[in-house]
Amino acid sequence: MTSQPWLVALDIDGTLLDYDQTLSDAVRDAVRDVRAAGHHVVLASGRSLIAMTPVAQLLGIETGWMVASNGAVTVRLDPSEPGGWRVTDTVTFDPGPAMRLLHAEMPGARFAVEDVGVGFRLNELFPEGELDGEHSVVDFEELAAGGEVTRVVVRSPDDTSDDFHRLVERLGLDEVTYAVGYTAWMDIAPQGVSKATGLEQVRERLGIDSARTLAMGDGHNDVEMLRWAARGVAMGHADQAVRDAADEVTGTIEDDGAAKVLRSLL
């Protein structure tokens, strides 16, 4: 058991799980051994809470912390709680203005707002398997006027990631934080919220020195987290913008790059 634990923040998709949603034995065992050594493994994802808990179970993590919804939701894992978790912090915003601007430009886009711990309300169902939990389809205006939320997901199959970036730059969505995925998918969060802001809350709660923070990820929504960590590690398949935000680059998901970095703590 280490006397000076690290806070180890781990992205899920493309870092721990491959694109077929498979967790390798090497990565699972490395996570287990790092936790057994006394370090704090914190899953940090754009996924919703209910999409993260199965991953925690796969990794054998029953206690500890998770940062969900790109930093808007902080969760304490505790087997004594209903469902095995308790939401400790949420950051919300009024999604209406941003949603209406985007809807006017992309009338065919699908919008979903998160109901934390339950699922999503949507103006149209997303393809099977893309969103977890219960799904409730409502009119777009009801969705936009439904009050404060932690996260909005926008999906537009007819547009590319570059289209999303150009549109956001043109519209100037100043009151929110956004992250564009590799496909035509965008997450919208409260202004100033990122995985890094959620992780900083966890770090303070745990009393971990900022010099003993490690973060690993592969996507654009990991950039702030990689910069926040004393040791930011980009996956080998990450694009240049993500690599530039990191202190080092490990192997790809196919090479079990995450396992190699985790074992460096042992």
CATH code for the domain of 22: 3.40.50.1000
What is the 8-class DSSP label of residue 71? G
Residue ending a domain, choose from 148, 169, 190: 190
Spatial CB neighbours of 208, under 8 Å, sequence gap ≥ 6: 5, 6, 7, 40
In a domain, 106, yes or no: yes
In a domain, 55, yes or no: yes
Cβ contact 66:103 at 8 Å = no
Q: What is the mean pLDDT of residues 42-62?
A: 95
Indicate the residue type of 16.
Answer: L
> What's the CA gap between 232 and 217, in Å, rounded?
8
Residue 156 scores a pLDDT above 90? no
pLDDT at res. 159: 79
54, 112: one domain: no
Each residue's pLDDT tens digit, 177-229: 777 765 678 888 888 999 999 999 999 999 999 999 999 999 989 999 999 99
pLDDT at res. 182: 59
73, 32: one domain: yes
> What's the CA gap between 118 and 132, in Å, rounded?
9
What pTM, to 2 d.p., does this model score? 0.91
186, 231: one domain: no
In a domain, 1, yes or no: no
CATH number at residue 174: 3.30.1240.10
pLDDT at res. 30: 98
Residue ending a domain, choose from 190, 222, 247: 190
14, 36: one domain: yes
Structural domain tally of the chain?
A: 2
Length of the chain (residues): 266
pLDDT at res. 235: 98
Average pLDDT, the chain: 92
163, 216: one domain: no
Task: Give the residue numbers spanning the domain of 173.
Answer: 96-190
Strands (E), the chain: 7-10, 40-44, 64-68, 73-77, 85-90, 110-115, 119-122, 134-137, 152-155, 176-180, 185-190, 213-217, 231-234, 248-249
214, 170: one domain: no
pLDDT at res. 160: 77
> What's the CA gap between 91 and 181, in Å, rounded?
21
The percentage of residues in the chain with a pLDDT greater than 70, rounded to a whole number, is 97
206, 83: one domain: yes
Residue ending a domain, choose from 171, 190, 209: 190
171, 224: one domain: no
